[in-house]
Structure 1
Amino acid sequence: MAAFTFNLQKKIEPSLVTCGKFDGSHPCLAIATSAGSILIHSPHRQPPANIIDSSHENLERRLEWNGEIAELQIGRQIISLCTGRLHEDERDILIIGMHTHVLAYQVEENADLFYKQVADGAYSLAVGKLSWLPNPVTIIGGNCSVTILNNEGIEIFWTVMGDIVRSLAILDFDGDGENELLAGTEDYELKIIKEDLILWETKETAPVTALAALSGKQFAYVVGNGTVGIYEGGQRLWRIKSKHRVVAIKCYDVNGDGVMELVTGWNSGKIDARSCINGDTVFKLQINSPVAGIVEADYRRTGRPDLVIVSITGEIRGYSAGSIIDTPEPGVAIRQLIAKKQALLMELRQRNNDNSSSSYLSTKLAINAITARTAARLVLASGPGLFIHCVIVFAEGVFEGETLVVHPKIPVGELEIELRPAKNTPVDIHVKVCLGSANTDLFQVFEIVRQLPPFSMYELIPRPAELPNNLRNCGVSFQISERPQRVVLWLNQSFLLSEEFIITDESSIDIWFRGMRDNKIHCLQISSTGNAMIQTQDPNLAGDIIQSLAMYLGIQELGSEAKFPDEEQKLSSALERIKDLKEVDTRLQADAAGGSTLLKNLVVRLEDSRILNDLENMRKRLHQLKTINGDLIRAHEFRVNSRKELALTLKELNVGVRYAARLRVGHAATSTVTRCRAAIQEENTRALVTALQNG
């Protein structure tokens, strides 16, 4: 039963709901509407008497109160929203993210704290204290980057990411009492960042759209395919997947037992709470419209926080702890027991009818080099007298929809399934095999778990008689101080080999392998003295190998020299395009300003003609207005397209910088990012290429 409910009669944007104490004591809802404004609902305070008007550039912001509700007109599309404290006082600051700017707004004073232009956009926001910075900061997730601003809006940290950063969270990941930054990106990555180090990273199955810090070292995550789950210290505790999309997550004690649960809001209007330990459902309820956001706030001033649920239609419901326990319907427990009884009876019948006591199932992973387009394969073979009737394979990022069901028309004794992972990451393969005799309708179900190594889509080949021309001037060289035997152990674990690779103490490593995605040849050479070289045209593969090798060997610092002519040319061209696009944007802004001035003058003259009843001049002015307005619309469309091209080019540059950083480890990677960032800001192509090559 809801403790309170009301309706704002406004359409709310999904995931753009937050809560803060803007006066230091009273919790207020801050909600973004589809009209490009912010609604602030404050049920326990009166609007301030003294209004300070503040504006920047073309934004005219004024907090207009109407009873308990104030509306802040932004005038631009809002894509992220959060609240937090940036000063020592207890008042929260409202942070608003847009495609080109970030606004830090003081609601109580109706004034801007800062208004910062961000070229990479503000797709996600977080406010808090990080271990390597002395004061609370604003963290901005942008287009392939993370930017950190101090309380004056000055950039104090920047690092590159693999794609658009859609979610951010602050938590103590390693339990050392200091906060780290957790970031989720559109290229499925989760990363823990501590200053210039990546403490932990993993890949998910879809873009990471939401993150929430929980108690201890736990955090919850949401990906775009309807999956929600919890990690603890880098290990996944559980996850569930639905056909619906998760809009919001929040940690809250729903049943009042002192243990927090994970509350999830879905675009279907469903809200459920699950145990943080195992994911079991504690309660669920259904509202009439999709969920827009979930916050925790003491909205009734009772001294205990309520769970506040906001829908996209503007309906707001509040629930107190212990008031939303899901009560099972009469007969549910009996139906569950009957279903369990039927399952046990069927299993008993199967065991009684099974005359085969020597059944077995063998599994192996191998490289399939028979077909023209080679792939890793899973080979399943059944025992004598048994046949494979059905196989269900679950593997993240391998199949569309993550699951493959193979149902042979005729039961077979051996079955091969091709596996083609899209990325160079380990993949856990969960297999369920239904075995039985040829004409039975009762099956034995075997469950098997295997792991596909990260470089399973590369097959070892003999050394070519002649070095390919495209590899002569491409690759990366570095130095490691490890015994070759340890590198061989890494090779045997990271590649899918038919037999183990073995060398002696004095031997060097020289392996050649072909990528089964693009049929290109690559080479890894490591001498007995530790001189290593990766010859490849793919900087992404080189970075994956270096990062995997460094993690396995425990290398904290690693510099390298790289040469990828195609990538260097690509980034140089991108930097030149950025120069041209900035010039075009400046010229378009000047033209738009001139057109706006002329338009205003024509409107004044048109009004004069109307007052004088001069119909001929009115028609003339209207025709001129129509022409100029059309020119302004076309110029605006051209400017929008130019901005989109600029954003794509910046993303291309940031991805290239990330490739360069992944060719190094530790401070060398950080130095590479810093030098590349400086070269891009200075538009210095030569400095950018030098940073890519030497770090």
Structure 2
Amino acid sequence: MDGDQTPEEQVEIGESDETSKFDDNVELTSVFSFSLDQRIMEGCVISAVLEPDGQETIVAVSVTNKVIIKDTETSLNITETIRCIAAAPFGEGYDCIVIGTDSSVICYNVHNNLTVFRNDVPDGVNCFAYGKLGDLEEAIYCGGNCCIWGFDKSGANTYWTVTGDQVTTMCLSDYDGDGETELVIGSPDFEIRVFKNDLMRAELMETDEITSLAHVTSGCFAYSLNNGTIGTYVLKERQWRIKSKSNVSKIFNFEEQGLMVVVWKQGKVDLRFAHNGEVLSRDSVATPVASATLSRDKENPTVTVVCLDGKVKGFKVQKATNGAIDKTQQLIREFGQKKHNLMMELSNYEQEEQLTEAEKDRDFRIPADTDVAVVFIVSCETQLLSLRVEASHAIPIRGVLIFAEGLFEGESYIWIPPNEHQSRSVIDIPLVIDKDSTNDLHTKVFLGHVDSNKLMVMENTRILPRFCRFTLLNKEFEKFFYMPTCFVKFKLSPRAIKLSEWVSESFTIDSSLVEIFDENEGDFKFMGLRPKHEKSLMFSIDPAEKTFTIFHDDIETVGAMVQTYSSFLQIQNMESVATFRMFSKRLKKFWKRFEFGNYWDKSKDSDL
């Protein structure tokens, strides 16, 4: 995708093919370097204006738990362990430093040398985001353990909501393009959650822990994962993503130019197009990165990269001096490669035309109409989901290569016959899935007769449904069904005529069986597949009361089903009644603590 792409970086699915409409004659240019003479804590670097009419300066946290300020002897000694810092414009024309520790949030005014406020935050603060959320006033938002806190400049608590997991990164961005900002948060449970004011509006499932989020433009935000993936979402859909062996430290956007800068922990600094991830320019620092900041000067923005050893290097986005020459040379190289590939293909055709009939028989040529079917197969007896690959004309399969992010170790799977003479035209590859998430399976199937020295490569893409770990049972296999004790019940949507479409999209069910859901009546029993084979699922539709009940003992799975059901049928509000007896004791204990003004510390409760 990009000419500067390193061998360890690969383009993944979902990339944009849009032609660049922005100026690509720019590059990253190093403009300064210095040292803080301190080892810096990872992730704890900001730029702030700490005095009225002052200049931006670097503020960082040293590994000795001190807040240090560039070019001053000032350092703040914090007794609690610091996790993160941020700058908030709580002063009159200048910033205050906001410090998140393992038990509190502290706002410090450097200009007046005083602590503006200090608030206790149970389980500590992991990340910050400052700005205006929806119709609320500007505040500093603190991501903690399963909750988010918001404080104004006086320290008053203006916002609080719960989340499904720890909050490790977040940003304020206009997620849905309605002109109001939403709070986008990332968690270790692979989910990106979007909050409109204090209500969660969307959940986006990814394939690894979310490590970084950044606003790009209206309706678009960027993200990075712990496995080296970066990409963008545009109006609820992934626009592109790229996979690297490196990990991202920070992402910054240049909204007016349509560009973004990606700073990698290993030291690379990339300038990319925001709409497709293509690299325009690349530079680097010599040592691993602690964090990076972007200056507020929109006319001449500077990206400052701070390394773990305290060395600092600054970069600016400037017009490339030899950009036109480099672009011409790159086009010549690309066209030269295309010419070489076409000449090789033409040579192969010419060789085939020159073969005699006897040579053609020995060459074991594959018929031109050969096709490869890739389908999902469910075995109720073994309680296993498999991917079946079948070649027409009984052509032997010499190998299968599958790419699926987050499904296989190393993100890929290779099948080859144990012996080349055991090649067969139909193979089943077992799929053991740990999470309920939609995934794209990209397969490359290598076909060819055992004695042939040429192989045909067939490519295919299949979408793995989100709830593929369940399969619909017929009467023959109802012995595998165990009636769940927990359920959620809600009114059947007037659009329930599309229920079969939702089931077909979300489950691995034979198309002939999906039609039974169009009747909107009766009980539909599902069996869990490995590794969820001990959990059963049942849909019960009562046409008289017009209710839809989902029976299942896993509250997380049921919640995901209700969300995908309402999203598919475009339901904005839906009342429901749920019974999960195993959580009753936990919830009573949880609410009892809040009634007495205590906070919930999940780590100190063995039964929560």
TM-score (structure 1 length as normaliser): 0.73
Q: Quick check: 2:32–2:313 contact (8 Å CA) kept in 1?
A: yes
1:76 aligns to what?
80
**TM-aligned CA deviation for residue 289 of structure 1:** 0.2
Partner of 1:399: 408
Partner Cα separation in structure 1 for residue 322 and residue 60 of structure 2: 28
Match status 1:116 vs 2:119: yes
Q: Is the 8 A contact 2:183 2:195 kept in 1?
A: yes
The structure-2 alpha-carbon separation of the partners of 1:509 and 1:551, relative to structure 1 and needing over 3 Å to count, comes to: farther
Name 1:421's counterpart in structure 2. 433
Matched ranges for 1:119-268 at <5 A: 119-133=122-136, 135-252=137-254, 259-268=257-266
Tell me whether 215-224 or 432-441 shows the greater mean CA deviation: 432-441
Residue 501 (structure 1) aligned to one of 514, 519, 523: 514
User: How many angstroms apart in 2 are the aligned matches of 1:223 and 1:358?
Assistant: 42
Contact 2:375 2:389 in 1 (8 A): no
User: 1:669 — aligned with what?
Assistant: none
TM-score by length of 2: 0.83
Give the Cα–Cα distance (whole angstroms) in 2 for the partners of residues 575 and 24 of structure 1: 45
Give the counterpart of 2:603 among 636, 648, 663: 648
Map residues 242-641 of structure 1 onto 2, 5 A cutoff.
242-252=244-254, 259-297=257-295, 304-322=300-318, 340-352=338-350, 355-369=365-379, 372=382, 374-384=383-393, 386-409=395-418, 410=420, 411-462=423-474, 471=484, 473-482=485-494, 484-498=496-510, 499-503=512-516, 508-516=521-529, 517-529=532-544, 530-571=546-587
Please report how far the alpha carbon of residue 189 of structure 1 lies from its aligned counterpart in structure 2 after TM superposition: 0.6
Measure how far apart 1:524 and its partner are. Answer: 1.0
Count of matched residue positions in the alignment of Structure 1 and Structure 2: 556
Bigger RCO (CA 8 Å, 6+ sep): 2
Q: Secondary structure at the match of 1:542?
A: helix
Contact map agreement 1:574 1:652 (CA 8 A) in 2:
no
Amino acid aligned to 1:78: I
> Measured at CA, do residues 76 and 197 of structure 1 come closer, stay the same or move farther in structure 2, by a change above 3 Å?
closer
The alpha-carbon deviation at position 77 of structure 1 amounts to: 2.1
2:95 — aligned with what?
92
Supply the distance in 2 between the matched residues of 1:85 and 1:186 (Cα, whole angstroms). 30
Q: Distance in 2 between matches of 1:430 and 1:467?
A: 32
Deviation at 1:86, TM superposition (A): 4.1
Note if 1:36 corresponds to 2:65.
Answer: yes
Q: Which residue of 2 aligns with 1:586?
A: none
Query: Could you say what secondary structure the match of 2:556 adopts?
Result: helix
Letter in 1 for 2:210: V
Deviations 1:555-589 (A, max 9, x none): 2222222222222235557789999xx99xxxxxx
Structure 2 CA distance for aligned equivalents of residues 220 and 495 of structure 1: 30
Superposed CA deviations along residues 274-332 of structure 1, whole A, max 9, x for unmatched, are 21122111111232101222222269xx9622222211111112223217789769998
Code of the aligned partner of 2:571: I
Structure (1 or 2) with the greater helix fraction: 1
Q: Which amino acid aligns with 2:389?
A: L
Equivalent pair of 2:216/2:254 in contact (CA under 8 Å): no
Structure with greater strand percent: 2
One-letter amino acid of the counterpart of residue 64, structure 2? A
Mapped partners of 1:456, 1:376: distance in 2:
8
Identify which range, 457-466 or 173-182, moves more after superposition.
457-466
State how far apart, in whole Å, the 2-side matches of 1:32 and 1:216 are: 32
CA RMSD of aligned residues (A): 3.3
Q: Where does the alignment leave 5 or more consecutive residues of structure 2 unmatched?
A: 1-28, 353-364
Structure 1 residues 90 and 652, CA gap change in structure 2 (3 angstroms) = farther
Q: Distance in 1 between matches of 2:563 and 2:402?
A: 29
Report the Cα distance in structure 1 between the residues aligned to 2:259 and 2:497, rounded to whole angstroms.
47
Are 1:386 and 1:438, in contact at CA under 8 Å, matched by a contact in 2?
no
SS of alignment partner, residue 304 of structure 1: coil
2:8 aligned partner: none
Q: Report percent identity of matched pairs.
A: 28
What's the offset of the Cα at 1:143? 0.9
**Structure 2 equivalent of residue 7 of structure 1:** 35
Q: Which digits, 9 at most, give the CA deviation of each residue in 1:43-86, with x for residues without a partner?
A: xxxxxxxxxxxxxxxxxxxxxx43xxx32222332211221224
Distance of aligned partners of 1:74 and 1:507 in 2 relative to their CA distance in 1, 3 Å threshold: closer
Q: How far has the Cα of 1:233 moved from its partner?
A: 1.4
User: C-alpha offsets along residues 108-161 of structure 1, whole Å, 9 cap, x if unaligned?
Assistant: 22222211110032111111011131x211111111122222222232322222
Q: 1:213 to 1:223 in 2, by over 3 A?
A: same
Distance in structure 2 (CA, Å) of the matches to 1:165 and 1:312:
24
Question: Aligned equivalents of 2:232 and 2:519: distance in 1?
Answer: 46
Native 8 Å contact 2:500 2:518 kept in 1: no
Alpha-carbon offset, residue 30 of structure 1: 1.2
Distance in 2 (CA, whole Å) between partners of 1:512 and 1:452 is 21
2:125 and 2:437 map into 1 onto residues whose CA distance is 29
Name stretches of at least 5 consecutive residues in structure 1 with no aligned partner: 43-64, 584-644, 654-695
**How far does the alpha carbon of each residue in 1:568-615 deviate from its partner, in whole angstroms, 9 at most, with x for none?**
235557789999xx99xxxxxxxxxxxxxxxxxxxxxxxxxxxxxxxx
Deviations 1:458-511 (A, max 9, x none): 01114698998863x532222224254222322222211122422498751310
Are 2:538 and 2:550, in contact at CA under 8 Å, matched by a contact in 1?
A: yes
The 3 A distance-change label for structure 1 pair 335 and 490 is: closer
**1:208 Cα deviation from its structure 2 partner:** 0.5
Aligned-partner residue type, residue 392 of structure 2: G
Larger radius of gyration: 1
Q: 1: CA distance between counterparts of 2:320 and 2:222?
A: 21
Task: Give the direction of change, closer, same or farther, for the CA distance of 1:485–1:270 in structure 2 (3 Å limit).
Answer: same
Distance 1:330 1:478 in 2: 62
